[in-house]
């Protein structure tokens, strides 16, 4: 992606994005952003704040603007390095919207209607089932294909969109000649699926009405420990990973993710101890894991000039890369450059 790097060594390109809807949770950190930091050492990485996608749901402009800036600052605070990774805000790179329209014209209505997230979000926002909510998989395809990504980190809820992206790219390549690289899914070996502290059968979500159900990246240590103390467990009182112990399984998974300990080591360390001791330990470990993130975030938000310089430079670099793909698409479609 970066010309100098390409001459030395062509690394596989990985692209990922995250929507700026509220403060990111511990689940976002363990499942995605922490992996982004590790990936930038071995891959040519591109990370974006997917703010255009957030518009499928009605937003308060002032709140959205704050969420975008906060999201950008948080990923830098977590360790994403603008010198190593292409790090940008989606709406500042107009090529995303431009390619999205062309891909929408090469996406079938039936394909979009089968998207499970459209069905889910339509049910949640019955008063605002807009066209963007229906066609946003085409925008997601544009996000990926613009950068000729080799790999896209995907969870179970995103695999359907990646398959559609590959189908759209294959269709376009078949009609107009080889244009887009077909991206593969990247499935991280680390990064457990973090579940709700209030209902461990559900994924942890920042939109949960129960504030005790999730930990945010920016929560204070005391708040983190308090929430873990309130986490739902079972009546058995033994710290062990087993079927039917969803609450303890979730806490063990989180503890393992932030300490590096195996389940066997955790069971050994807490043999004969109650859930209270274990919850305290998990809370303290998570608070310590997130401490540098909180400190870096505070410093970044206070240095507005540096933050703005980063996202504007990122947008310029991203646009330079994206424009190469878009110009190729325009030419093949018969549009005048």
Q: How many CA atoms lie within 13 A of 114 on its CB side?
A: 9
Q: Count CB-CB contacts under 10 A for residue 16.
A: 24
Distance CA(269)–CA(272), nearest Å, equals 9
Kindly provide the b/e burial profile for residues 141-179, where b requires at least 16 CB atoms within 10 angstroms of the residue's own CB: bbbbbbbbbbbbbbeeeeeebbebbbbbbebbeeebeeb
Distances 234 to 195, 210, 224, 238 between C-alpha atoms, Å: 15, 19, 20, 9
Number of C-beta neighbours around residue 276 at 10 A: 11
| Number of CB atoms found within 10 A of residue 257's CB | 21
Nearest to 71 by CA among 183, 165, 206: 206
Within 10 Å of residue 337's Cβ, how many Cβ atoms? 7
Helices 246-259 and 275-302 meet at what angle, rounded to 10?
Answer: 50
Q: Which residue has the tokens 């399984």?
A: 249
- 85 contacts 45 by C-beta, under 8 angstroms: yes
Would you say 214 and 27 are in contact if contact means Cβ atoms under 8 Å apart?
yes
Which residues are annotated as catalytic?
A: 121, 203, 206
How far is it, in rounded angstroms, from Cα 147 to Cα 13?
A: 8
Give CA–CA dist 300/196, Å, rounded.
29
- Cα 148 from Cα 323, distance rounded (Å): 12
């Amino acid at each position: 992606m970066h010309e100098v790097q390409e001459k030395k060594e062509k690394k596989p390109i990985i692209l990922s994005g995250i929507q700026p809807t509220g403060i990111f949770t511990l689940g976002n950190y363990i499942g995605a952003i922490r992996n982004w930091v590790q990936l930038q050492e071995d891959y040519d990485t591109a990370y974006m704040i997917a703010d255009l996608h957030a518009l499928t749901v009605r937003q308060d402009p002032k709140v959205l603007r704050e969420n975008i800036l906060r999201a950008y600052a948080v990923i830098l605070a977590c360790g994403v390095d603008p010198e190593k990774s292409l790090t940008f805000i989606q709406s500042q790179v107009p090529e995303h919207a431009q390619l999205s329209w062309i891909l929408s014209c090469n996406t079938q209505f039936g394909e979009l209607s089968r998207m499970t997230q459209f069905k889910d979000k339509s049910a949640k926002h019955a008063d605002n089932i807009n066209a963007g909510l229906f066609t946003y998989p085409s925008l997601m395809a544009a996000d990926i294909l613009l950068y000729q990504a080799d790999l896209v980190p995907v969870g179970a809820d995103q695999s359907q969109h990646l398959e559609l992206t590959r189908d759209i790219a294959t269709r376009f390549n078949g009609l107009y000649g080889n244009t887009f690289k077909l991206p593969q899914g990247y499935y991280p070996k680390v990064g457990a699926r973090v579940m709700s502290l209030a209902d461990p059968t559900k994924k942890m979500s920042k939109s949960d009405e129960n504030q005790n159900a999730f930990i945010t990246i920016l929560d204070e240590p005391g708040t983190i420990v308090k929430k873990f103390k309130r986490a739902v467990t079972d009546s058995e009182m033994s710290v062990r990973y087993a079927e039917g112990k969803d609450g303890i399984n979730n806490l063990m998974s989180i503890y393992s993710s932030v300490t590096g300990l195996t389940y066997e080591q955790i069971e050994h360390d807490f043999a004969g101890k109650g859930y209270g001791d274990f919850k305290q330990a998990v809370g303290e470990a998570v608070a310590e894991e997130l401490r540098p993130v909180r400190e870096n975030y505070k410093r970044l938000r206070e240095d507005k000039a540096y933050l703005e310089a980063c996202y504007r430079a990122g947008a310029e670099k991203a646009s330079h890369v994206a424009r190469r793909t878009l110009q190729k698409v325009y030419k093949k479609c018969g549009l005048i450059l």
